[in-house]
Structures are given as structure tokens and as C-alpha cells.
Structure 1
């Protein structure tokens, strides 16, 4: 099927372009910036004639800024063909679905969607995907999209557009507002976040990272999340009232009032014990990785940079709360711990196997009479420092021997001394009754 993604040159649009392409859809993208090179990089078509692409597509997806979503729907929907699907990927649902109902011809399916993740995730596995179908307009396409997303590992929630906007006014509206306000408070206080990490607790460290994560995103997106959902202001007022009340209680040294507020909130919250266990897992995962790095000092380890995807391998020389220093042999590399993922021994070996430039060495030997060279080849391959073994020559009937001569070509890991590995193989062959030639 043909999928057109309007806004497909943006970060979220690019993510879904790759997703649909990987699921064997024919993908076309369009973006107001006209960045054809992004489409070329994705390996998809760019819609040079947007109206024609709209009319020929089986699915049209709108992923543009919230403030222009309804206008883009109004321009797009009337041009769609019968039995096609119109979807949006915005974080509000009432406005976009009402616009789709208003402007889409009766024969066009409608489905509001909200992926509860950003474009940095590698896959849908474990991610929540909200669908807001419209009665009488989603029956054909809802099961198609649900199966597509679920088969890719997503967790699907189906609610009405109005329920959606109510929940996200807190899920996004309150949390983003609180984190951004913490960030602006740091700024108002001229508080050094980097210096404060010297005295951090695990909870503070995680909280500050989430603040930084939000502050580092597209501010226009977060502004529209706050400003376009009419329920958000009510949430803000409740939050600011609670902040004011709690501050007054602290100012008055009203211990009992503070305790009552906190206990009442805990009762309303519900299962705080489960929240403690889940947050402990998050904290312990950070501690565990740091402990692994500390235990690796003096050992060879490999680390993949999360953003560049570059793998750095070498001897772990030093580990601090923020950095790790690797001696790669040719130079020393300092990496920020938050930017790397420590590879397992198996992952490091797999990376070496596929990414390093390897050495080739040949070993020729007379093998015992009646022996199978393929079995001997398999024995040689048990050496973990050998990537591959190939039999390149066999010859029987040499004047000075009645045994078969076999030449094995060794592909030796690029970070090992090839002559040492060849010597190991020759020693092995001698030990099983072979005679090394020349």
C-alpha cells in the first residue's frame, strides 16, 4: 500500500517513514521545507506534486506542528480517494479528529493516533500507542493499524478523543510544565546544575536528567502541548495552588499540615510500594552499569556511543561518576558515561568480527592418514581469535610423504598479533598429529 506522510521530513515523520518502509509499505514524504535530500537519505519518494500524491495514496498521515494540524487536514482531506485512511500523529485529539470529520469525504476512513514516545527510540517494542477511533469512520482501518503496531511490539490503548485530551493534560501538560519550570527556576537562581552533580543523590541525578531531556527538545512542540489543549490551564492552576499551599505550610513551619498533605497525596496516589520498586529498578540500573565499568578497570571493554553509533574499544584506564577513559592503544579516549552503552563480551567479539580489518595467514601441514580436513578446519575455528578458516589447497602424492598436504587460510582478528595466533594454530595441529610444512 502507498503511504504519504505530510511532515515526513521532520524528526517524527522520518521515524515513521522508516517504520512503514521496513513494513513493506511504499512510502512518500512531503515537507514544507522541500528537503528532498531527506527523502533520498531515507530511501523513499518525495511528493513533488502533493495533490497527486494525496489522491493516489491509500494512507495519508499528518505529522506537523499542533498549531497548523487542523489547517493541513482541511487542505488535505477533501483530495483523498475513497476507502483510503487519514491519520494524524499529534498529541491532541479533539481538534484534529473534529477537523477530519468535517473535511474528509464520507468514504475516507479516519483514525486519530498519538505515539507516546519521541523519535529517539529504536523500535516500537514496549512503547504505548494511543488510538482514538471515530464511530462509523474507523471500522475498516482500525484493525489494520492496530495489528501493524502490535506486531511491532507496541502496547495499544483505545480511548475517545475527549478522554485522550483529558489524560494528556496531566500526563504531558503537568509533567512537562513541572520539569520546564524546574529548569527555569535553576536559571532564575543562577544555580549551577553541573556543579550540583558533585553532591547528587541517584534520585536527583535522574530528575535533573529528565529536566535536561525536556529542555533540550524542540521548544515549539512543548509550547503547543501547553497552549493548544484547553484543559491544561485548569491543571496549571491546580498545580500552582498546591505549590502555593505547600510553600505557605513550610514558611509557617506547620509540620502537621505538611504531613497531612503528604499522607493524603500518598493515599490518593495508591500503590506507592510498587512505585518504589519501579524507581528502585531505574536507580539500580544506573548504579549497576557504573559498577560494571568500575569492575572493568584494567580490562579490555567496548562501548557504543549512543548518538554517533561509534564503537570505542580498549583498556578501561579510569572511571569517574561522569566519564570513562579508554586506552585504545593508539590514543586515550574520554567518554561521557551518559552517552555510551557498555557492550557485553559477546557483543564486543561480534563487533570485532564484523568491523575490524583482519589479518590473513596461511598454514600448510601434512594431516594424518584417513583424517578429514574439514574436521581439522572445525577444530582450528574453535580459537576465539580466528574469524574464519578456509581450505585453499589440498594435495596428495608429494615425493617425501604419503600423507595429504592441506593449506588452511586463517582470518585472524584485526586487533591481535597474527604471528602469535598462527603459532598457536601450528602448535594445535602438531598436537593432533599433523606435520607443519615449510
Structure 2
């Protein structure tokens, strides 16, 4: 048996993976992460209700789910209750909600810390209520779980029924599951989040103190500096309250800060003293501790080359039609590339010119662009009737027509015998942005070339 009981009984309704119409309440569901998971679980069969202290019922209306006007009653009726509130009030909310839950239900949290919340769930959740600590290692801007890490901190003997259901649902949707003890989780995130966020935020505040022109500096940027600035900007653009809580609510973070600040001071002293050998030794020692740096070099090269490659593709696309996906809105823009700068792309889209920021777009491949056109445009339809050669197979001829890259769809709509000859009518759908007469002429030439005779 694993820490959550790998030998699970399958006779209870939730263990077969079916969650259709089971009731889920997300406390804090009006927040960004709460909204993301409301949509996720709704799409997978749960009857989702949300509650938020702000009382934003319009959020529930927009998501097409219910808002809990009576929180206590909703908790008592729910099969799953998820806590998605700020870190500093998570334990308080658990203390208020957990005692109201019914036997056989599940209490989860989505908090960046795990030791305090899981202890609170153990303390306040009645016997028969299962508990599961979770930490999604992503923000609400991602489109799906595919490739995302999702940390689970199950407590032994408190998650036999629900653990395989939740884990299975996450894995089926592409998440990479990591299972750890709550204390181990908090030690690792004190560096994974605590140190990295602290460093990036401090770089941002240092730029402020220096009155440094960030925008102007991009004229001199190297690829590494460009990527670093993007990560600094990404962190600074997030909810500062959330990041304050990540820094202040995990007691392990202070220890990390102390070591980091000491190392900053020590390295700065070596620079002041022009201690070249000391600097070299420190950097080499860090590289040895880091381990094999080659994979890191290859991954960073891949990231750098991707940024450069996409920009180069845009540059050589000026005057040509391209498809650009806006990664945040999901909208696809189709048009001729008019101008490309390091900051933006100007696209002639119909009768208007659209300005798109480079960092917000993804260039569609030729195949992706064609598939978008096939699925979204109104295509031209032409019917071509021919007398086919004796002993020929009309279906084989159809396959030949389908090979034309300008044809979206081809089918046989009529077959009959005319003067002891087989007559076949082929219907072709021609890609919307192609000249239909030209494509039809090409198709007719192919048909005549294989021995067919056009009927008028």
C-alpha cells in the first residue's frame, strides 16, 4: 500500500472515475485560479458551484455555473470542496468550512504552501471526510494542463477513495503529477518560488532605483538579457499580493534569503577587490554543485533559437500572407505581413491594418493556416460531370482529385449509365481564397488526361 493506499476498493461511486453530476464547490471560485478550475472541472462532468467573498455573481453567470448564496448549505451538500483563497487566510477558511462537510466528500486546497493547509485539513475535517493538498505549478493564463506540473500531498489514510479519481483526471488531461510530503514541498518551493521570485522582483526594483530605461535597453539586448527581462516583467505583472504571500508565509523562505543575500555580498566584495581567481573559483564550484550544465545549455539554446527563428520567419514574410495566433485571446489573424519590428508586427487584415506585439503572437505553420481556412471559411462548390473510361473505378478517380491541395473536399454525388457509358458527377469544394475557375480548369484537365470525357 502506498502513502495514500494504492490498494483501493473500487465499489464506491467515485472510484470508477465517474464524476458526472457530482457536486463541487470552489471557495474562492471568483478569483482567477478559481475560475480556471471551475471551467476545468465543469467540462469534465462536475456540477460546479462557486463562492467568493466579493459576491461577484456575474463571474458565475459568465462561466455558466451557479453562485453559492448560502455557503454553509452548499458546503454540506457538496461531494468536493476546493479552497482557492489567498495563502494567509487559507487555514482560517479551512477551519470554517471543513467541519460542515459530509461523510465521503473530499476537501482540497490549491495553495502554494502545503504544511499549514494540510495540518488544518487534518485538524478540522471530520472523520470520513477525505483531504488532499495540491499545488498547481502554473498560473491561470495557461490554455490546458498539458505538460504542466501538478503537486499532490496526500495524507496517509485520508484519501483512499478520491485520490485515484483526482490524480487520474489530471493525468488524463496531460498533467505531470509529483507526489511529496507537505514539509518536503515547502522546503523545495522556498527555492523554486521563494528564491527565483525574490531575485526577479529585486532585479525589477533595482532597475527602478537606477532609473534605468528598460525599453531603451532592448536596443542593446542579447538573447539572454531579452529572455531575462521577459521573466522579470512576467513576475512584476502578476498579482503582487500573491507574491508577497509566497515570500512571507513560508518560514523556509527567510533562510533562503539570508544565504542569497550573504552570497550577493560576498560576490560583490570579490568584484570590488578585483579578486579574479576567487570569482572564478566560486563560479566553478557552483557549476560542480549544479551538475551537468550541458542540458541547461541545450535547453536555453533551444529557447533562444526559437525566439530568433520565429522573428526571422516573420521578417522574410513581409508582403506575404501569414496566420498569427494571439496566444492570450486565442484569436487568429490572417493577412499580409506589412511590417516587422523587434516589438510588433503590422498585418494587413482585410481592409484594416492590425498591430500585434511580437511577444503575444505565435506564427502558424503553412499546414495550420490551411487547416484554419478549411474549418472557418465558406468554400466554393463546383460539380463536374464526366463519362469515365470503360472498366475504370470512379472511386480511384475520386482519390486522384482529392490530391489537389486547393480542394477541401471531393465526393461522388451521382452515378448512372448514359448510352451504355458510365456517367459520374464529382462535387468539389475549392478552398475559399483560391480562384475557383482556375482550380476547376485544373481538375478538368486531370480528368481528361486520364481518359474521362466532360459532359456539358
Asked if TM exceeds 0.5, the reply is yes
2:437 to 413, 419, 422: 419
For residues 263-285 of structure 1, give each alpha carbon's deviation from its aligned partner in whole angstroms, at most 9, with x where no partner exists: 33223323333322222222222
Number of the residue aligned with 1:206: 227
What is the distance in 2 between the residues matched to 1:167 and 1:22? Answer: 32
- CA-CA distance at 1:318 after TM superposition: 4.3
- CA-CA distance at 1:175 after TM superposition: 0.7
Which sections of structure 2, spanning at least 5 residues, go unmatched?
1-18
SS in structure 1 opposite 2:128?
A: coil
Number of the residue aligned with 1:410: 428
Equivalences for residues 392-407 of structure 1 within 5 A: 392-394=413-415, 396-397=417-418, 403-407=421-425
| Larger RCO (CA under 8 A, 6+ residues apart) | 2
- CA-CA distance at 1:302 after TM superposition: 1.7
SS in structure 1 opposite 2:45?
A: coil
Structure 1, 348-357 or 325-334: larger mean CA deviation: 325-334
For residues 242-283 of structure 1, give each alpha carbon's deviation from its aligned partner in whole angstroms, at most 9, with x where no partner exists: 222222222232223322332332233233333222222222
What is the distance in 2 between the residues matched to 1:358 and 1:261? Answer: 65
Is the counterpart of residue 54 in structure 1 residue 75 in structure 2? yes
- CA-CA distance at 1:354 after TM superposition: 0.4
Number of the residue aligned with 1:223: 244
Is the counterpart of residue 435 in structure 1 residue 436 in structure 2? no
Number of the residue aligned with 1:170: 191
Number of the residue aligned with 1:234: 255
Is the counterpart of residue 125 in structure 1 residue 143 in structure 2? no
Number of the residue aligned with 1:99: 120
Number of the residue aligned with 1:90: 111
Equivalences for residues 14-33 of structure 1 within 5 A: 14-33=35-54
2:372 to 351, 354, 357: 351
- CA-CA distance at 1:369 after TM superposition: 4.8
- CA-CA distance at 1:329 after TM superposition: 5.8
Number of the residue aligned with 1:278: 299
What is the distance in 1 between the residues matched to 2:399 and 2:145? Answer: 40
> TM-score scaled by structure 1?
0.91
Equivalences for residues 106-145 of structure 1 within 5 A: 106-145=127-166
Number of the residue aligned with 1:248: 269
What is the distance in 1 between the residues matched to 2:156 and 2:98? Answer: 18
**Closer/same/farther in 2, CA of residues 225 and 434 from structure 1, 3 Å limit:** same
Is the counterpart of residue 293 in structure 1 residue 303 in structure 2? no
Structure 1, 103-112 or 425-434: larger mean CA deviation: 425-434
Is the counterpart of residue 75 in structure 1 residue 96 in structure 2? yes
- CA-CA distance at 1:42 after TM superposition: 3.1
Contact 2:141 2:328 in 1 (8 A): no
- CA-CA distance at 1:405 after TM superposition: 4.6
1:179 to 200, 212, 218: 200
> TM-score scaled by structure 2?
0.87
Structure 1, 240-249 or 366-375: larger mean CA deviation: 366-375
Alignment coverage as a number of residue pairs: 435
The alignment's C-alpha RMSD in Å is 2.4
**Closer/same/farther in 2, CA of residues 373 and 86 from structure 1, 3 Å limit:** same
Is the counterpart of residue 4 in structure 1 residue 22 in structure 2? no
1:151 to 172, 179, 187: 172
- CA-CA distance at 1:60 after TM superposition: 1.0
What is the distance in 1 between the residues matched to 2:288 and 2:415? Answer: 79
Number of the residue aligned with 2:15: none
SS in structure 2 opposite 1:231?
A: helix
What is the distance in 1 between the residues matched to 2:353 and 2:148? Answer: 38
What is the distance in 1 between the residues matched to 2:189 and 2:396? Answer: 63
**Closer/same/farther in 2, CA of residues 18 and 258 from structure 1, 3 Å limit:** same
For residues 21-69 of structure 1, give each alpha carbon's deviation from its aligned partner in whole angstroms, at most 9, with x where no partner exists: 3333332222223333433443433333322321222211111111221
SS in structure 2 opposite 1:113?
A: strand
For residues 396-419 of structure 1, give each alpha carbon's deviation from its aligned partner in whole angstroms, at most 9, with x where no partner exists: 55xxx6645544433221111222
Which sections of structure 1, spanning at least 5 residues, go unmatched?
none
- CA-CA distance at 1:105 after TM superposition: 0.6
SS in structure 2 opposite 1:111?
A: strand
Structure 1, 10-19 or 105-114: larger mean CA deviation: 10-19
1:385 to 381, 384, 406: 406
For residues 93-140 of structure 1, give each alpha carbon's deviation from its aligned partner in whole angstroms, at most 9, with x where no partner exists: 122112112211122111111111112222223222212222332343
Equivalences for residues 321-340 of structure 1 within 5 A: 321-328=342-349, 330-340=351-361
